[in-house]
Amino acid sequence: MRHPHHDAVAAALRTAYAQPHPGMGWATEERRFGVYRRNVKAATYPAVLLRDVSPADAPALLADVRSYFAGSRRAARIMIENREADAALGPALQAAGLELDERTSFLTHVGPAPAAADLPGLSIEPVADDGLREFEDTRVRGFANADGPRPPEDLDWRVDLRRAEMAGGARYWLARIDGEAAGALSWYDRRDRLIFSLATRVPYRNRGIARHLLCRLLSESQREGARSVVINADEADTPIDLYRRLGFTDEVYWRATYELDVGA
């Protein structure tokens, strides 16, 4: 099904990723090959949103990205915003040694908010600044598919990023089972609410925690008059099937992401 505001939501997403967001630390610059983005508040991954780049441009593109982001502690993320361009340019990037990170589908919810069955012991709490480290530890454990404690140095920059995102309107929920941190959800609280992270720790999977988090946010968003709720997921990963079953059926944006070691 198609969202009634499909075109407007799609345009808002494309614009959001190309604009600077000073509150969150994101600075942008228009260059020959597209929009270059870096975060001045957190040591996260810099990125390039490509614009009209051909396979023949690949060597010059990669040289420019390495020069622009020289000294970055993180790999640069090279993003292609439609499937046709990825089919043409992606092989040239991979031939040059870049790794495909993921192909991401952004799906907006259509229809009424679904319900979730009661889950004994579940509580969902908003996260404030003093809870960001526990939230991020929970989130990263879920994405890592491993439940060991995360190294402090790995969490430090991630917490800096979450704090910067919070200043720009990001909101976070932590799900607990019998008081233990079990799942994490984050979204941008705007007219179009973009869910940009959802994770459940390995010991708590297959209990419906992710469904509860999504159903609650969908219900609140509809009650509060949000125009849309959008979630993104690797189109080859299993969570996207859950999202579609819950009503995230309309693709409003898509991109492929490749990683470039700027020190190489």
Domains of the chain plus CATH, in order, are: 6-104 (no CATH), 122-246 (3.40.630.30)
What is residue 252's predicted lDDT score, i.e. its pLDDT?
98
* Model pTM score: 0.95
Q: What is the pLDDT of residue 229?
A: 98
pLDDT bin (cut points 50, 70, 90) of residue 85 is very high
Q: What's the average model confidence in pLDDT over 82-88?
A: 96
Mean pLDDT of 163-191: 97
Residue 141, φ and ψ in degrees, nearest 5: -60, -40
Judge whether residue 28 has pLDDT over 80: yes
pLDDT of 215: 97
Instruction: Say how far apart CA 135 and CA 131 lie, in whole Å.
Output: 6
pLDDT grade for 264, boundaries at 50, 70 and 90: low
Question: What is the C-alpha separation between 262 and 264, in angstroms, rounded?
Answer: 5
Q: What is the mean pLDDT of residues 12-22?
A: 95
Q: Is the predicted pLDDT of residue 238 greater than 90, yes or no?
A: no
- β partners of residue 107: 231, 251
CA distance 109 to 251: 9
Instruction: Give me the mean pLDDT over the 245-256 stretch.
Output: 97
- End-to-end, the C-alpha distance of the chain in Å comes to 44
Please give the pLDDT value at position 81: 96
User: Percentage of the chain with pLDDT > 70?
Assistant: 100
Query: Mean pLDDT across the chain, nearest whole number?
Result: 96
Q: Which of 82, 87, 11 is nearest to 49 (CA)?
A: 82
